A and B are shown apart, each in its own frame.
Chain A
Amino acid sequence: MKDGSQSEIEVEPGANVMRTAVDAGLPGIFAECGGACMCATCHVYVDQDSVQAFPPVGEVEEEMLECTVAERLPVSRLSCQLVVPEGVATVVVRVPDAQT
């Protein structure tokens, strides 16, 4: 979290990271477009150890990552495009300072 705190949420494989965060009421993931990959307001930094757990950035996601308010880093992803993979125990993502 941007205030330095951490939250742990139980997730099932196949769960969408953005939706899980929003449903849990986590601050910092805005998701204005509700998962249509149109707004770049569910931006997260995926922890280096978790990067490999996800498929590479998609073409539409790539367009949107150019629109993030917070700095885009090599580990930047849009959480609406991330599905928790099978057989991965923990996924760590950091929430940027700003989404809008």
Chain B
Amino acid sequence: MSVLESTQQAREGGLPAPGVPVSDLDPYSADVLIDPYPYYEMLRELGPVVWLEKYGVYAVARYDQVKQVLSEADKFGSSAGIGLTNFHTEEPWRKPSIILEVDVPDHTRTRKVFTRILSPKALNALRERFEREAEKLVTALIEKGECDAVADFAHAFPIKVFADAVGVPAEGREHLLPYGDMVFNAFGPVNDRFRECLTKLGPSSEWIAHACRRDVLTKDGFGAQLYAAADAGEITEEEAGMLVRTMLSAGLDTTIFTLSNAMASLGRHPDQWAILRDEPSRSRAVLEEVLRYDPTFQSFYRTTTRAVELAGVPIGAEQKILVFIAAGNRDPRHWANPDTFDVRRQATGNVAFGTGIHGCAGQMIARLEGEILLRVLATRVDSLELLGEPEVHFNNTVRGYSRMPMRITPRVAAS
């Protein structure tokens, strides 16, 4: 047994505060990953705070508590890691992220650099390039007719435009996905899924380390801008490399899965696809509803920084809390008909990207990619037909698909 596993087992002896509902749910089991939403409903109905006995952690699944935990970063910290492993007492699988897995004030310094590079103003310069690539991709999709909406659509776009924007080499980009897969598995327990991922990681880790180097990156991408921030003294040279790594691990699998979830939702709800097809300018709002209805990030952790109270429950310091953002996005206390995929709804305020100081720094580029690709698709395609059940990709933290056979029928050109 590894050090990691023995400390995790030791943690499982903990007890909840009196009166807190207890659940034996394993949110990382295959059954839950296939369709987590009924399980989330069960957790929400148990109470505002629930104890998961299998892992010795508290969990929140209602919108208000999810939002509160994410917003009060001084009480519910990130420097103990945002996975099940507590970095204060256990050994992380890799060096912690200097933006994701830190608290104020360390976080403030690195976040500021990310914010500038990924701000709406900075992203405007990419819009035209993204539109050109989206046109190319949809043309290829229409020529195929029958395609795999994961490989040919969801995967193809970010691996081209986002990796180009960061400035990594074109050769070897297939290594990016296994690395992201590992990062997101690692937020969960050390289970077979985690171990299997880790054993296959070697070559991908090496490629990523190489791709993050100053001399390997293009001169005008986000990566180069991070090194420019190092030259300006805002961050160190080593930190710049680490932040490039963060961009690559956080910015690809996530967007790819979001696009795959968009295709699954639109394929399963032809009436909602028709709304987008008839008004392609709705694409940004449609994407927002996808993010609410079936978000890529399902859950992650915060750790109490001191003794706190949450929804009346006293919780000691250094206690892990599992935050089910995907469950908050379906809480009937906040959303009307939450289980209905309704692209006309006002879906802003959903917590797919988190919220507060650690809210996803890449959310605006993710929205830009999705908005453009869905708009171009809706402009040129008449119908999407699923040719079978999409295959779920199993990961401890992120939800998406590995395969999705689909028939794409183009619009008939106006004569």
Contacts and interface: CB of A to CB of B under 8 A. Distances in A.
Interface in A30-60: 30-40, 59-60
Contacts of B367: 32
A31 B349 contact: yes
Interface in A7-30: 22, 30
B144 interface: no
B112 A36 contact: no
Given A66-B121, A67-B120, A34 B108 contact: no
A67 to B, nearest CB: 4
A34 B364 contact: no
Contact of A22 (B120, B349, B358): B349
A84 interface: no
B interface, how many residues as a size bin? 20 to 34
Contact of B359 (A30, A35, A64, A67): A35
Given A22-B349, A39-B363, A64-B120, 13 more contacts: A32-B288, A33-B353, A33-B363, A34-B351, A35-B356, A35-B359, A37-B115, A38-B118, A39-B364, A40-B120, A59-B112, A63-B112, A64-B115
B361 A38 contact: yes
Contact of A60 (B111, B349, B350): B111
A38 B359 contact: yes
B116 interface: yes
Nearest to B361: A38
B348 A31 contact: yes
B354 interface: yes
Contacts of A22: 349
A59 B108 contact: yes
Contact of B119 (A31, A32, A34, A66): A66
A34 B115 CA distance: 15
Interface of B: 71, 108, 111-112, 115-116, 118-121, 288, 348-351, 353-361, 363-364, 367
Given A63-B116, A64-B115, A36 B121 contact: no
Nearest to A37: B115
A interface, how many residues as a size bin? 10 to 19
Interface-central residue, A22, A32, A34, A64, by most chain B CB under 10 Å? A34
Contacts of A38: 115, 118-119, 359-361, 363-364
A36 B114 CA distance: 13
Contacts of A34: 348-351, 353, 355, 359
Contact of A39 (B112, B120, B356): B120
A36 B116 contact: no
Nearest to B348: A32
Contacts of B121: 66-67
Closest 7 CB pairs of A and B: A36-B359, A67-B121, A67-B120, A34-B355, A63-B116, A60-B115, A35-B355
Interface string A48-92: 000000000001100110110000000000000000000000000
A35 B355 CA distance: 6
B119 A64 contact: yes
5 contacts: A32-B367, A34-B351, A36-B355, A36-B356, A36-B363
Nearest to A16: B71
B360 A36 contact: yes
A92 B354 CA distance: 29
Contacts of A37: 115, 357, 359
B70 to A, nearest CB: 9
Given A35-B71, A37-B115, A67-B121, A30 B348 contact: yes
Contacts of A32: 288, 348, 367
Contacts of A66: 119, 121
A59 B115 CA distance: 10
Nearest to A62: B112
